[in-house]
Structure 1
Amino acid sequence: MSRFKKSSHVILFCQYPIVFVPKYRYRVLKGDIGKFVYQSIYAHTERSGCEIIELNVQPDHVHLLVKVPPKISISDLVGKVKGKTAIQAFQKFPNLRTKKYWGNHFWSAGYCVDTVRHLDSDETNLRPFPNFLRMKSAHKLSADRFLDN
């Protein structure tokens, strides 16, 4: 089975590790709240058309490794997941509103995102396009040599 996902006009492998934290990095993501946040993040991410590879909810932060199709922006995904999870968490756990969350914000404003690159054991499969460009530029250089005369 290929790691690539196929669509009508694209073959892709887009994985992103995302980390985000509760407001002031309070350690509130434990017990029932942590379980609820895990289920909520999983549900909203899957509904967005993304595939969760890993999800780890720690008391003061969340690690999410997700495959995202190119039509969905990472900022839209994170905004939707954080927003809907916060609304549902405040509804299910009203005692969270008594915490010192300024403006009743559950999550901190930012997040961290990176990219994942899959490494093959065969070096020729690692960078076929840069190899093509290198060969093309070498061919162009040799062609330019004839034009200089």
Structure 2
Amino acid sequence: MAEYRSSSHTVYDIKYHFVWITKYRYKILRKNVAFRLRELLQQGCDARNIKILKGSIGVDHVHMLLSCPTNLAPSQIMQYLKGRSSKLLQDEFPELRKRYWGQHMWGRGYFCGTVGEVDEETIRNYIENQGKEEDNFKIEEQ
């Protein structure tokens, strides 16, 4: 069963699976850097009302399963988490600033996949069985 979240006028269940890598796939996410990155990502998510369902930090990439509010687009979430963590990690760890002299610690792209309790086929069947189908977008008779 889905664990629904709510805001003032909305009930939602929006989950994204994000994966992003370090620039040039450098294996820099070890020991203190990895622990500090985890703290920064937790703080960033808390500040934006994003719930971390699962997370994993590899030596050169990050996986996160996030439950996100309706007012945040995936691109905004990544821009915030990657930008903030890159700046703060480079400020705290001089060896990162030396390695990434252009100040870009993360690779340019990321992977984002949606996750849900209900699959596409279930939604199609639900919509199809609401009455007679005229088009892909129908109007129910009352």
User: How much has 1:107 moved relative to structure 2?
Assistant: 0.7
Q: C-alpha separation between the residues in 2 aligned to 1:43 and 1:50?
A: 10
Higher alpha-carbon deviation: 4-13 or 21-30: 4-13
State the TM-score, normalized to the length of structure 2. Answer: 0.84
For structure 1, the residue ranges without an aligned partner over 5 or more in a row are 121-125, 142-149
Identical counterparts, % of pairs: 27
The equivalences for 1:104-123 within 5 A come to 104-118=103-117
Larger Rg: 1
What amino acid is the match of 1:11? V
The equivalences for 1:56-95 within 5 A come to 56-95=56-95
Instruction: Select the structure that is richer in helix.
Output: 1
Q: Give SS of 1:33's match.
A: helix
User: How much has 1:119 moved relative to structure 2?
Assistant: 5.3
User: How much has 1:131 moved relative to structure 2?
Assistant: 3.6
What amino acid is the match of 1:109? R
1:6 aligns to what? 6
User: How much has 1:136 moved relative to structure 2?
Assistant: 4.0
2:140 aligns to what? none
What amino acid is the match of 2:38? Y
Q: Give SS of 2:115's match.
A: coil
The equivalences for 1:1-149 within 5 A come to 3-99=3-99, 101=100, 103-118=102-117, 127=122, 130-136=124-130, 138=132
For structure 2, the residue ranges without an aligned partner over 5 or more in a row are 136-142
Q: 1:63 to 1:119 in 2, by over 3 A?
A: same
Q: How many positions carry a matched residue from both structures?
A: 134
Q: What is the CA deviation profile of residues 57-103 of structure 1, one whole-angstrom value per residue up to 9, with x for unaligned ones?
A: 1101000100011111111111111111011101110121221x351
8 Å Cα contact 2:20/2:107 also seen in 1: yes
2:138 aligns to what? none
**What CA RMSD, in Å, does the superposition of the two structures yield over aligned residues?**
2.2
User: How much has 1:139 moved relative to structure 2?
Assistant: 6.0
State the TM-score, normalized to the length of structure 1. Answer: 0.80
Q: What is the CA deviation profile of residues 28-57 of structure 1, one whole-angstrom value per residue up to 9, with x for unaligned ones?
A: 001100111111111111111111101111
